[in-house]
Chains A and B, each alone.
Chain A
């Protein structure tokens, strides 16, 4: 199997796996709060979006990268870098959503078991929305700026590719931060249950 095909398959698999975990945790949280969990519209949206991403992931099979190349030179040259970096952004967004739901579950348990006040304040209420907007705006601004460097004096394709790779490392910092936070909340939930149940 060609390595590029392997990377494409793994990329889409990770997206599927993380999305699935997020949908299940969301379902669990809604059930925990309401006693039932209806999220048909949300699941339909996720599946549709995922199918679009799968099609884009194998876009070269239908010459989609070439088509975009006619419209915008940098999209043609760096089609998979744009797409891979978008996947990286989505992983951050999905992991952030997971951390929010896990935290909300912890909050409900903490209120019930320790008779404490809810932690949800203004920051937690509006923070996630602001974070998601910032995340996708950052992706758009970074990549449109990067795309404008194609054929500009002083920039080789290697330089531009390096800047694309640098974006993955920025996302990597978010993954690490978010995953350690989820781990910490997991630890807190476990000890809370062990102590009180």
Chain B
């Protein structure tokens, strides 16, 4: 076990850390975009049923974060990566938190109606 840790310590250099972080960062940023996109699609569906205004700005925020994701490839230091990732996450979390705050009540009431009516 000591040898395994020693090998990790010696071979997992800053360069290896940056490379794996970039790959992982791109993968989880894409998955975040997919999650938020479907959260907004579900919210839109329910807003349509409730005759509420269409969602626009949240899609724009999400698009902005998606446009920034490819730039993760060009970061060369952990500091640069962290700052860019913070901006991307900041946009995505803003959309997610706002959506959770404003949509959860209508969404769950809508779901509750489906569950109760169909049981």
In the complex, which residues of chain B have a beta carbon less than 8 angstroms from the beta carbon of A155? 6, 9
> Across the two chains, which residue of chain B brings its CB closest to A193?
B45
Tell me if B42 is interfacial: C-beta within 8 Å of chain A: yes
Chain B CB within 8 A of A134 CB: no
- B104 x A27 contact (CB < 8 A): yes
- From 17 to 31 in chain B, residues with beta carbon under 8 angstroms from any chain A beta carbon are 17, 20-21, 24, 27-28, 31
Q: Which of the segments B52-60, B65-73, B111-119 contacts the partner chain? A: B111-119
A165 within 8 A of B: yes
Q: Which of B35, B115, B116 contacts A179 (CB 8 A)?
A: B35
The reply to whether A32 and B6 contact each other, CB–CB distance below 8 Å, is: no
The minimal Cβ–Cβ distance linking A11 to chain B, given in whole angstroms, is 10
Number of A-B contacts (CB under 8 A): 131
- CB 8 Å contact bits of B70-93 with A (1 = contact, 0 = none): 000000000100110010010001
CA A172 to CA B21, docked complex, whole Å:
8
- A169 touching B20 by the CB < 8 A rule? yes
Interface of A is mostly: helix
Nearest-neighbor residue (CB-CB) of A149 within chain B: B5
What is the size, in residues, of chain B's interface with A at 8 Å between Cβ atoms? Answer: 47
Interface hub of B20, B21, B31, B89 (most chain A Cβ within 10 A): B31
In the bound assembly, the distance between CA atoms of A187 and B40 in angstroms comes to 11
- Smallest Cβ distance from B51 to chain A, in angstroms? 15
A145-B5, A162-B9, A172-B20 as given contacts; A14 in contact with B89, CB under 8 Å: yes
Quick check: is A17 within 8 A (CB to CB) of the other chain?
A: yes
Bound CA span A113–B115, Å: 8
Contact A112 B119 (CB under 8 A): yes
Q: Take A109-B114, A112-B114 as given contacts and tell me if A163 and B24 are in contact as well, using a CB distance cutoff of 8 Å.
A: no
Report chain B residues within 8 Å CB of A190.
Answer: 38, 41-42, 45
Question: Per-position contact with B for A1-12: 1 when CB-CB < 8 Å, else 0?
Answer: 001001100100
Judge if A76 is at the interface, Cβ distance under 8 Å: no
Q: Which residues of B contact A20 (CB under 8 A)?
A: 97, 100
Other A-B pairs, 11, CB within 8 Å; known A115-B118, A159-B6: A6-B86, A28-B111, A109-B115, A112-B119, A160-B9, A162-B12, A163-B9, A169-B21, A182-B31, A190-B41, A190-B42
Residues of chain B at the chain A interface (Cβ within 8 Å): 1-2, 5-6, 8-13, 17, 20-21, 24, 27-28, 31-32, 34-35, 38-39, 41-42, 45, 49, 79, 82-83, 86, 89, 93, 96-97, 100-101, 104, 107-108, 111-112, 114-119
